[in-house]
Amino acid sequence: MKKLVILGAGTAGTMVASRLSRILDSKDWLITMVDQDPVHYYQPGFLFMPFGVYEKKDVIKPKEEFIPANVRLVMSKIELIEPEHNLVRLADGNLLPYDFLVIATGADIHPEETPGLAEHEWGRSIHTFYSFEGAAKLADHLRTWQGGRLVVNVVENPIKCPVAPLEFLMLADWYFTQRGMRDRVELIYATPLPGAFTKPIAAKMLGEMLEEKRIRVEPEFMIERADPDAKKIISYDEREVEYDLLVSVPLNKGADVVGRSGLGDELNFSPVNKHTFLSDKFDNIFVLGDASNAPASKAGSVAHFAVDLFSENFLRHVEGKEMHALFDGHANCFVESGFGKGVLIDFNYTQEPLPGRYPVPVIGPFSLLQESRINHLGKLAFRWMYWNLLLRGHKVPLPANMSMAGKWKN
């Protein structure tokens, strides 16, 4: 009996378990998952919670619902991974030996890494929507907020869903317009990147959108600290941006246990081959989803496409054959632009987002790099797909690697 242990029952871990439990023979394989939180969060829904589009109940379900019948789920913290001994130590004292290990422990926010953020104003004038609790709290705050200067600040990349901060600002423009208070709200985006859009074609197609929505960009803003009493953020080059409401996207890091176990980089992301997700250090460890250091977007769609190819590869790898399904960094993301519209972007490690028409059987096509109503509907419909198809390991009729079909090259 071979033992496969999957650490983390979030988006990537659950998809891996669902897929592998279908293709591995349960007479030969024992699959065990470990997680410390009984709740599965639909993380893309956090973006909508502050604006009352989704409530708490819309984005949570019990993890148990998605664990395949032939997979055992252990609820525990993970103490340590000992890759030299093919062993996982759990906080409850139990030991889990493995033949193969999948690390899918994700990424989380660390506001305490930036002085001034997670102090007495955290949850008062400083908020985040990058956690379930944070998004719920921000929803409460926005309901009675009287207006002023709202600053969205990304502390440092990489972050989960790199477009979510922009989406938040565009939704904020819509939300405050609807409430008749847009003229009392200033929207500012302070980003460490050289601009809101850094890819030439996206910048050309979408660059004016922010101006039209009166969202001001403060580029190359590397925050050093927040001053919660003076209500301003200060960058390393001593620029100051004042706020009435700071919506922070704090530093994202991989799980502590990855770092503790000697499997992480300086942010606890685990170095892997970006095409196969095989650990750089150990031949029987794969790292999927946000937990790896692959230079792909940290997004559910990337995890989904990666898992599609991983399941083919895994069978070959355990037989000692070369893995030939090589992932290209494909991401496919609906970007909310407010007022019931959205933009679809489809790209990979080397191909920047292009305009065109993205073909999807029956419900498509969706317009690429252009606003449309159907893109917004696609984003909302995605929640159903996530709970009912993706987590349960059903194949979705989208190519795992990026296709140029429908894209306009000039």
Rounded to a whole number of angstroms, the minimum distance from the CB of residue 174 to another protein is 19
What is residue 235's three-state secondary structure? strand
Helix then strand then coil, % of the chain, to nearest 5: 30, 30, 40
Q: Alpha carbon 205 to chain centroid distance?
A: 24
Q: Provide the 8-state DSSP code for 83.
A: G
In the complex with another protein, which residue's Cβ is closer, 84 or 237? Answer: 237
Q: Who's near 90: CB < 8 A, 6+ residues apart?
A: 34, 74, 76, 77, 78, 79, 96
> Does 94 sit near another protein (CB under 8 A)?
no
> Does 16 sit near another protein (CB under 8 A)?
no
The stretch among 19-27, 81-89, 140-148, 156-164 that binds another protein (CB under 8 A) is 156-164
Number of residues that bind another protein (CB under 8 A): 33
Show contacts with another protein in window 208-267 (CB under 8 A).
220, 222, 224, 236-237, 265-267
> Does 106 sit near another protein (CB under 8 A)?
no
Show contacts with another protein in window 270-309 (CB under 8 A).
274, 293, 295, 297
> Does 153 sit near another protein (CB under 8 A)?
no
Which residue from 156, 186, 312, 328 is in contact with another protein, where contact means CB under 8 A? Answer: 156
Which residue from 52, 62, 200, 399 is in contact with another protein, where contact means CB under 8 A? Answer: 200
Rounded to a whole number of angstroms, the minimum distance from the CB of residue 310 to another protein is 20
- Tell me the C-alpha distance between 320 and 314, whole Å: 10
> Is 98 within 8 Å of 3 (Cβ atoms)?
yes
- Tell me the C-alpha distance between 266 and 193, whole Å: 20
In Å, what is the CA distance from 195 to each residue of 34, 113, 246, 331, 394?
40, 24, 19, 21, 38
> Does 374 sit near another protein (CB under 8 A)?
no
Quote the longest CA-to-CA distance of the chain. Answer: 66
Place of tokens 């996207």: 249
Rounded to a whole number of angstroms, the minimum distance from the CB of residue 385 to another protein is 21
Q: Which residues bind another protein (CB under 8 A)?
A: 156-158, 162-163, 166, 192-194, 197-200, 202, 206, 220, 222, 224, 236-237, 265-267, 274, 293, 295, 297, 331, 333, 335, 345, 347, 353
